[in-house]
Structure 1
């Protein structure tokens, strides 16, 4: 099959492309960066260089595709992150419809069942609904939790202060997902498109508390006393901005999600559907070994 992937060579799209190419599919990879052309071609894929903001480019990138994988890249420079996400979702829906694409695997998120969900969840809800309006297109929405790999950003804090945390305490549950598990589920769906019809959602990940995260990572790095701390919202916002995030990015991608988790407003749909969720092939204990390597290599 001919399959177009958005997401350039990111943590999901790269292993997804590798699996699909190994399966004999013709893969086109969308990237905004011309510098990625050689790396994409080295994989055996076809580069499509342009912006997902451009509906004319997407129409061309999705041309002749039997299936596409859609994800919305982080909007670091967007004036309004959620509006940006909705706009890209509109562009995807239009390009899919104009090309008569038969199957779509769409990366969404936990919380996307809520029209006004915290962080990017509400915008993901909009994108899911927009894609579901397409007739004759079969769609699988993947709803992962927060990525394991996000914790790599906590290494400086652990080294300098001996703590890890967020704006919720260690007893609060979150859903965590390894990006490679998302790639595996997406590859399985795209490799067997005849098996998925209609419009569906699938959660990916497992529940774990902050205290459990601290214990697993702490033991892996030789700091069994590592504590999970619940930071005040303003303190966390200041710290994130000091580390380079814009105020909007910090609020949308971190603070709002943390507030929703501590108020138990985000995971009800996940819990309802977790019997059909894709489990974690890559366990958090396994990730902790990679985390420890990165920790000890960090200056």
Structure 2
């Protein structure tokens, strides 16, 4: 039995579907009972649980042998990083108390020691905690998710603009969720793999300007990139619904990303999905 944490998210839903297509038995975990039918439609058995309920989570883990771990995002209107550290610790404790034989965990480029640096610090803590556990663990470090641009649909359509905290020409590795899911499915179903970290990114690096061009092509209308300057970051994020703590954490993560002062892979695993293919599909789904 395979278990997928976050089975209705961008990566988890693709992974759940892929495993089901391979005729694997899958339990899809969600915290939202309204997502039960979605998980069933993907071909899995739903389990509704708050991942902070370590005892109940352990019970679910004991129903399977292999787990895909994606730590759920915190509430940006509160202290998201503080919440995410707590959910990681609960998940790690549940794994430790379970009979799981293999864990494939989704981390990120730039994961490093630190507090108040968003996912970079949270997921480094997850990696280090997993390294001390008994089950075989494989770490995937995904590049910047193309799905982070999903929120740009509305302004691209209504204003002909996308807003970016990165400079328009700043190129970074990006990856589509389905390509992470394909790699996770491979690692989950294989008998032997190295622990990693295994870095995965798309066919090439992209910039916010490339994102604008992809939206323009998909919408058949001009779309421009509007850069939010560093002295406006905090205010912009708080107007978008971030608490002050979450906004500060995001700003620190952006600064570290812009510096690119962290380990980078010499030969990353390359996904097949281009930015244009991803945005075309995204626009198709939104119509």
What interval of TM-score do these two structures reach, taking the shorter chain for normalisation? Answer: 0.7 to 0.9
Shift of 1:92: 1.9
Alignment of 1:78-97 (within 5 A): 79-97=78-96
Question: Deviation per CA, 1:88-118, whole angstroms, max 9, x where unpaired?
Answer: 2222222222223111011111111x21283
The 2-side partners of 1:223 and 1:281 are apart by: 26
Question: Is the Cα contact below 8 Å between 1:217 and 1:291 reproduced in 2?
Answer: no
Q: 1:238: which partner in 2?
A: 235
Helix, strand or coil at the partner of 2:270: coil
The 2-side partners of 1:288 and 1:294 are apart by: 10
The 2-side partners of 1:78 and 1:159 are apart by: 26
Helix, strand or coil at the partner of 1:99: coil
Q: 1:200: which partner in 2?
A: 196
Check if 1:70 corresponds to 2:69.
yes
TM-score of the aligned structures, taking structure 1 as reference length: 0.85
Shift of 1:71: 1.0
Q: 2:276: which partner in 1?
A: 285
Query: Structure 1 residues 237, 69: CA separation in 2 closer, same or farther (over 3 Å shift)?
Result: same
Question: Is the Cα contact below 8 Å between 2:77 and 2:246 reproduced in 1?
Answer: no
The 1-side partners of 2:21 and 2:284 are apart by: 29
Helix, strand or coil at the partner of 1:200: coil
Query: Structure 1 residues 237, 290: CA separation in 2 closer, same or farther (over 3 Å shift)?
Result: farther
Question: Is the Cα contact below 8 Å between 2:110 and 2:257 reproduced in 1?
Answer: no
The 1-side partners of 2:76 and 2:156 are apart by: 29
Shift of 1:160: 4.8
The 2-side partners of 1:43 and 1:159 are apart by: 30
The 2-side partners of 1:241 and 1:172 are apart by: 23
- Structure 1 unaligned residues grouped into runs of 5+: none
Shift of 1:32: 1.2
Shift of 1:244: 3.4
Q: 1:158: which partner in 2?
A: 156
The 1-side partners of 2:47 and 2:263 are apart by: 36
Question: Deviation per CA, 1:223-274, whole angstroms, max 9, x where unpaired?
Answer: 45x4333312353443343343434444434x33332233333xx422xx24
Runs (4+) off by over 6 Å: none
Shift of 1:142: 1.4
Helix, strand or coil at the partner of 2:108: coil
Q: 2:37: which partner in 1?
A: 38
Check if 1:179 corresponds to 2:177.
yes
The number of aligned residues is: 284
The 1-side partners of 2:18 and 2:133 are apart by: 27
